[in-house]
């Protein structure tokens, strides 16, 4: 007796998701992980000699229970050696809106035929419409065969940089396309990280900004970004490279060709001088005996996340600081005031301490994430680490981390002395007390996080992260930013314990979004060691406004190395 085994996918499909939540197109942070997963599934099929021939949003299923993406409906799939595109009645197989020219002409096909359909699918996910929309199928077919690839930029100017990648994947001849679907998805992902035109007051685009700040794009995302996998709110949310609260999902590759389902791999402030037009100041060496003092041009590199991956729309920028330093019994200390003219920085005054040869400054400010659910100002920690160089410059990096999920951004930075500046307006650091070392500084290195929910919760979650703790010079407050390729977990130390407070709108696999608030506490270990081998805490995930629910959880960070 013959029978068919079929997986039940408890979720929705990409077409429905697009129709109900993103009629004008998904943010790249939502669409690109879907494309990446489907590309991986297609390449897996192609390596086994199987063509799908009907890739489209309606055949991409999002499983709420397993947080996987499935490429479904292999009903017209054929081996590559039987790849004719026409039926016995001379009708084209597949959905016309996504069919490749060779498929419509009944010519031989290979994996690049599915790549063309995936590119058409990507276009629709990003714009809300198929590439050649027309009520007459004959017109659509003609355009697939003869018309140039449409422009994403005409629908969404901020995505114009992706046009060359889509145009190649939608080439009329297979030979001109990418070698594989995965290569196409990777190129799309890499191009999305290149700077694209964005509002000049975007938090990620500037070193100096004026609040309020527009929210990062991923605040409106469903299954989010960064080529690595991410999941819906199945564990306490993390801030992604552009600030969304997203949790970790393990990478899983599964093939299920029973009942026509094929599983995909994972579900995943202003500028004084624009970059490229540097000021014409001539560098003058630091005056003898003054140390780190004078007026400095600060040249910031393009924005990245804490892992060093580029953030789209974060170009190199330039600022200006006046610095006054003093060396004495309390060590070498420098006060720095921002004297750029274009905007007000998040933190306009910083105090540097010379620690093991480097100049280190940690300060706090506030920005406003203009999200309807998060209208209160969010605390932002700004950290500079500068190393003196033989040519008189100071080079290093600066990071800014918002406590409540707005953003975590890193930039390289070089300070070049351009003159003496107006040091009379900078406070004298000579009277400042020495820097105080905090016990929280013992939390550093690589850690494995394990999250376990209580009965009725979501089940365990795990992640491997890296952390560096930075403290105010008073030592009473510190920030410990755990980060991995998929996001950031920010803990704030004060009063002998770390606290975690995150709130925002996150995607829900059951549909729509959920308002999530995460609170947790992690006491300083009584048997303090440097480094801390294990940090344990307890917290609550309060979710409202959607089908996804939260619960109480325990959270443990176990050190795995430096």
SS3 346: coil
Q: What is the pLDDT of residue 537?
A: 96
Question: How far is C-alpha 383 from the chain's CA centre?
Answer: 20
Q: Which class for 43: exposed (0-12), middle (13-18), buried (19 or more C-beta within 10 A)?
A: buried
Q: What is the pLDDT of residues 203-246, one digit of tens each?
A: 223 222 222 222 333 322 233 222 222 222 233 333 433 332 22
Whole-number CA gyration radius for the chain: 26
Which residues are designated catalytic?
54
The 10 Å Cβ neighbour count of residue 328 is 12
Residues 308, 311, 313, 314: is their CA dihedral positive or negative?
Answer: negative
Low-confidence ranges of the chain (pLDDT < 50): 76-77, 82-94, 196-290, 370-374, 457-460
Q: Where does 21-157 show beta strands of DSSP type E?
A: 50-51, 60-63, 68-72, 78-79
Contact 384, 413 (CB under 8 A): yes
Q: What is the CATH T-level fold of the domain 439-561, as seen in this structure?
A: Lipocalin (2.40.128)
Q: What is the pLDDT of residues 249-292, one digit of tens each?
A: 222 222 223 223 333 322 224 444 433 443 333 333 333 334 69
Could you give the CA distance from residue 485 to residue 238 in angstroms, rounded to a whole number?
11
CATH number at 11-192: 1.10.510.10
**Domain boundaries, given as residue ranges, for the chain:** 11-192, 200-223+269-435, 439-561
Q: What angle do CA 435, 292, 329 make, to 5 degrees?
A: 40
Q: What is the pLDDT of residue 111?
A: 92
Helix (H) or strand (E) run with residue 102 in it: helix 101-104
Could you give the CA distance from residue 41 to residue 185 in angstroms, rounded to a whole number?
12
The pTM of the full predicted model, rounded to 2 decimals, is: 0.52
Please give the structure tokens belonging to residue 527.
């048997």
SS3 520: strand
């Amino acid at each position: 007796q013959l029978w068919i085994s079929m997986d039940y996918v408890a979720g929705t499909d990409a077409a429905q998701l697009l129709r109900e939540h993103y009629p004008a197109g998904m943010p790249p942070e939502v669409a690109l992980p879907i494309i990446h997963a489907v590309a991986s599934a297609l390449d897996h099929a192609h390596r086994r000699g199987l063509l799908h021939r009907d890739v489209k949003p309606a055949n991409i299923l999002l499983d709420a229970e397993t947080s996987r993406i499935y490429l479904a409906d292999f009903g017209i799939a054929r081996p590559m050696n039987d790849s004719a595109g026409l039926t016995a009645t001379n009708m084209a197989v597949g959905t016309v809106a996504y069919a490749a020219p060779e498929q419509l002409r009944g010519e031989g096909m290979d994996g690049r035929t599915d790549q063309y359909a995936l590119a058409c699918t990507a276009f629709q996910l990003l714009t809300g419409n198929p590439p050649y929309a027309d009520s007459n199928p004959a017109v659509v077919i003609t355009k697939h065969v003869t018309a140039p690839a449409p422009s994403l930029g005409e629908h969404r100017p901020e995505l114009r940089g992706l046009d060359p990648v889509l145009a190649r994947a939608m080439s009329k001849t297979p030979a001109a396309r990418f070698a594989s679907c995965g290569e196409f998805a990777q190129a799309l992902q890499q191009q999305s990280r290149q700077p694209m035109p964005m509002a000049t007051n975007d938090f990620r685009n500037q070193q100096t900004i004026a609040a309020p700040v527009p929210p990062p794009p991923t605040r409106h995302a469903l299954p989010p970004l960064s080529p690595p996998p991410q999941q819906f709110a199945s564990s306490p949310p993390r801030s992604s490279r552009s600030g969304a609260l997203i949790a970790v999902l393990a990478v899983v590759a599964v093939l299920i060709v029973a009942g026509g389902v094929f599983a995909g791999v994972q579900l995943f402030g202003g500028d004084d001088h624009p970059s490229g037009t540097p000021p014409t100041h001539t560098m003058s060496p630091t005056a003898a005996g003054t140390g780190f003092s004078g007026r400095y041009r600060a040249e910031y590199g393009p924005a990245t996340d804490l892992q060093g991956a580029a953030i789209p729309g974060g170009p190199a920028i330039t600022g200006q600081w006046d610095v006054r330093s003093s060396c004495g019994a309390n060590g070498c200390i420098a006060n720095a005031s921002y004297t750029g003219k274009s905007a007000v920085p998040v933190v306009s005054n910083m105090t540097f301490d010379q620690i093991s040869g480097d100049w280190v400054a940690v300060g706090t400010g506030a920005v406003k994430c203009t999200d309807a659910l998060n209208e209160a100002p969010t605390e932002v920690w700004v950290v500079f680490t500068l190393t003196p160089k033989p040519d008189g410059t100071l080079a290093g990096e600066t990071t800014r981390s918002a406590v409540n999920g707005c953003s975590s951004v890193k930039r390289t930075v070089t300070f070049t002395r351009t003159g003496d500046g107006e040091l009379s307006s900078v406070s004298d650091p000579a009277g400042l007390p020495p820097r105080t070392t905090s016990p929280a500084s013992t939390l550093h290195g690589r850690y494995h996080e394990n999250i376990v929910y209580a009965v009725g919760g979501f089940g365990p979650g795990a992640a491997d992260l890296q952390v560096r703790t930075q403290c105010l010079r008073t030592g009473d407050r510190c920030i410990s930013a755990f980060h991995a390729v998929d996001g950031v977990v920010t803990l704030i130390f004060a009063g002998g314990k770390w606290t975690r407070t995150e709130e925002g709108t996150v995607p829900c696999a059951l549909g729509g979004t959920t308002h999530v608030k995460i609170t947790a506490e992690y006491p300083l270990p009584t048997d303090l060691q440097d480094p801390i081998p294990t940090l344990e805490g307890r917290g609550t995930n309060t979710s409202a406004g959607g089908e996804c629910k939260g619960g109480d959880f325990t959270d443990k960070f176990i050190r795995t190395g430096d």
